[in-house]
Amino acid sequence: MVASELISDRLIYKPLSLAHLSHHYVSWMNDKEVIKYLDSGGDYTIEKLEDFLNDVEKKEILFWAIHLKESGKHIGNIKIDPINKKNGLGEYGIMMGDRSEWGKGYAKEASQTVIQYCFNQLKLRKITLGVVENNESAVELYKAMSFEIEGIYKRHGFYNGVLCNVLRMALFSSEEI
């Protein structure tokens, strides 16, 4: 399954590819604020990003670059991977890389668009995610979107130099019986 282009009110979602290779993107992956709660980043080069994007292109996964509709500017990425078709499950992840676009509601718009696509088009029944408990803005966003906490991985990893819990959260399709 490969990502197809999606459109929402203010955003366009294009399959992530080598076309997104840029120094701007590399700068996100080395920005301590952007990667504070991610397991990757901090040592990126243009070559490392190119290798990553080559790998993404070879896989059949749902991985989109988030672009502003008005300017075409690439501001982040969103994915649903892996997908378990048998059980109707998908694992969600998002990175809003361009800090100048933070606080404008783009993460929520992108999340709602991609999740509704997964529920309505792909007929998934449940979207799951892992989020560092200390990432208060992300936890608040997911709760506002009706994600529920299903479990807590206690003292699961070091983020920003602090040993943190990771919340496992889930959102169910409204059509689930």
Across the range 12-34, mean pLDDT stands at: 96
d(CA 51, CA 106): 27
CB 118 within 8 A of CB 127: yes
**What percent of the chain lies above the pLDDT cut of 70?**
98
Checking if the pLDDT of 79 tops 50, the result is yes
3-state helix, strand, coil in the chain (%, to 5): 30, 35, 35
Across the range 58-63, mean pLDDT stands at: 93
**Could you give the domains of the chain?**
6-128 (3.40.630.30)
Structure token digits, residue 81:
């991977």
The H or E element that residue 15 is part of is strand 11-15
d(CA 97, CA 27): 9
Residue keyed to tokens 């029944």: 125
- pLDDT level of residue 175 (50, 70, 90 thresholds): low
Closest to 91 in 3D by CA, of 126, 122, 117, 59: 126
pLDDT tens profile 111-122? 999 999 999 999
Helix intervals (H) in the chain: 23-29, 46-58, 106-120, 136-144
d(CA 80, CA 110): 12
- pLDDT level of residue 177 (50, 70, 90 thresholds): very low
Q: Can the peptide bond before residue 82 be classed as cis, meaning omega within 30 degrees of 0?
A: yes
Across the range 97-113, mean pLDDT stands at: 97
Checking if the pLDDT of 70 tops 80, the result is yes
Checking if the pLDDT of 56 tops 50, the result is yes
d(CA 65, CA 158): 27
Q: Radius of gyration (Cα) for the chain, nearest Å?
A: 16
